[in-house]
Amino acid sequence: MLPIFASVFKDFANHCIVNTSTACDILGCTRQNLNYLVKSNTVHPIKDTWKENVFLRGNLTSFD
Weakest-pLDDT range from 1-5, 12-16, 34-38: 1-5
Q: Which of left, alpha, beta for 28 (phi over 0: left; psi -120 to 50: alpha)?
A: left
pLDDT of residue 64: 55
Q: Which amino acid appears at position 23 of this protein?
A: A
Side chain identity, residue 29: C
The Cα–Cα gap between 45 and 23 comes to 10
Structural domains of the chain, ranges and CATH numbers in brackets: 16-63 (1.10.1660.10)
> Which element (helix H / strand E) includes 9?
helix 6-16
pLDDT reported for residue 4? 84
Please write the tens of the pLDDT for every residue from 33-59.
999 999 999 999 999 998 899 999 999
| Cβ atoms 26, 17 nearer than 8 A | no
